[in-house]
Amino acid sequence: MSFRTIEVRRIAGALGAEVHGVDLSRPLSAEQTAELRRAWLEHLVLFFREQNLTPAQYMDFARAWGQPIEYPFVKGIEGFPEIIEVKKLEHEKMNFGGIWHSDTTYLEVPPMASMLLAREVPPFGGDTLFANQYLAWETLSEGMKKLLEGLVAVNLSAKADVSRTREDRIKSDGRESAPREFIGEHPVARTHPETGRKALYVNVAHTARFKGMTDEESAPALEYLFRHQVKPEFTCRFGWQPGSIALWDNRCAQHNPVNDYHGYRRLMHRITLAGDRPR
């Protein structure tokens, strides 16, 4: 894939590319926007370096991709309700979202994409892993695909492991009106609306069971899928610097922030973009 207005460098075989030659503090041209979209659909997650954007500039960049939406559990920063702080403070042990997941699959209409802008990073650690869910689906056996096609996954916002990763932020920045629990039901294999490719769409943070089955009945297949979908050969790893941005396709990629920097502060600004109902 060739580009005229940007430079794209792959960082791993499975997914992920760094983009160079673009200043996101300025409005994007139509050609830049189109080329970035092509690169994003090809690589699933794009990374940008040295983009020290103001909140207003960050929102302008987000709007070039889609419609920013508010996160259901944590309120946004002052003046920008769609930008939330993803942070871990020096005394905290749990990091926000510190488990493999696709963002908010417990919503009836999950987000199309998410983006993070690094404001403060620890002196070491705090990388984020990403995993390609096209590959996770395509490498399953034909027998497993036949078993899973047509199944619906029940996704909960209140699964214990992921709930603990939100506790500190809900205490400090939580929304008073947030519901106690969201439940979203989505196909186990969803078809990407732009590429037409199928992606595995379950995740250990939110998926509790298959619709029409008990947790116990669902567990063996789900436990296998949770291990399978994050095999090392499906992943890439990104090391943050202040001003780094990651933009990932929530419809076909999972992510996991590594919690290996106890005693240090890490602060990111996150925006999520409205999506469509998975099919």
Residue 255 annotated among the catalytic residues of the structure: yes
The pLDDT value recorded for residue 22 is 97
Of the listed 43, 103, 209, 269, which one is catalytic?
103
Which residues touch 81 (CB under 8 Å, ≥6 apart)?
70, 75
pLDDT of 159 reads: 86
Instruction: Identify the band that residue 95 occupies on the pLDDT scale cut at 50, 70 and 90.
Output: very high
Give pLDDT, residue 158. 87
Q: Does pLDDT of 103 surpass 80? A: yes
Task: Report the SS3 class of residue 69.
Answer: strand
Residue the block writes with tokens 């794209």 = 8
| pLDDT reading at 225 higher than 60 | yes
Sorted by sequence, the CB contacts under 8 Å of residue 258 that are 6+ apart come out as: 98, 125, 126, 127, 128, 129
What pLDDT score does 256 carry? 98
- Backbone φ, ψ for residue 79 (5° rounding): 85, -10
8-67 pLDDT per residue, tens:
999 999 999 999 999 999 999 999 999 999 999 999 999 999 999 999 999 999 999 999
- The catalytic position among 190, 192, 255, 269 is 255
Distance of alpha carbon 128 from the chain centroid: 10
Q: Exactly one of 101, 119, 169, 251 is catalytic; which is it?
A: 101
pLDDT at 236 over 80: yes
pTM: 0.94
- Write down all domains in the chain, each with its CATH number in brackets: 7-272 (3.60.130.10)
pLDDT value at position 27? 95
Region 69-92: mean pLDDT is 95
159-177: pLDDT as tens digits = 866 666 556 555 666 656 5
For residue 205, give the 3-state DSSP assignment: coil
pLDDT score of 98 more than 90: yes
pLDDT band for position 102 (cuts 50, 70, 90): very high
* Confidence (pLDDT) at 161: 63
Tell the residue number behind the tokens 């207003």, with chain if given.
56
Worst-scoring range by mean pLDDT, 55-64, 166-175, 207-216, 220-229?
166-175
Tell me, yes or no, if 101 is annotated catalytic.
yes
